[in-house]
Amino acid sequence: MSSKAIFVYGTLRRGCANRHARLLERSAQFLGKARVEGRLYRVDSYPGITLGGEADDWVVGDLFDLKDPDTLTALDEYEGSEYRRVLTMAVLEGGTESQCWVYEFIGPVTEARRIVSGDWMA
């Protein structure tokens, strides 16, 4: 299975000043704000998502359509070994569903570090 879409929820979102967020904006088309089923945690000075959770657990982020699939290689390196890229379903604001890649945090998480709003930038 493959996808040309990617859902980002933290330092890769639009408006972030790092070079990888700018690379994503240049090499992908912004499809809109979206959400995925999961829980958001503060890992350090950045967020991490775990997919699944309760029926009302959603994480808000941005959905992009990749123009150049090779961009994923650079993003994989940026995310590092704490994350794995997995396929999931995102729901755009209008209700349209889209299969997409997301970087899921694979380290330990605790409820004390959970971001309840589901939106890192809120």
Query: Do residues 103 and 20 make contact, with C-beta atoms less than 8 angstroms apart?
Result: no
| 73 membership: H or E segment, kind and range | helix 71-79
Segment among 28-37, 51-60, 71-80, 85-94 with least mean pLDDT: 51-60
pLDDT above 70 as % of the chain: 98
Look up the CATH number of the domain holding residue 25: 3.10.490.10
The pair of structure tokens assigned to 92 is 């755009």
Q: Which domain holds residue 86?
A: 5-115
Q: Does residue 120 form part of some domain?
A: no
Domain count, the chain: 1
| 61 membership: H or E segment, kind and range | strand 58-66
- Predicted TM-score (pTM) of this structure: 0.92
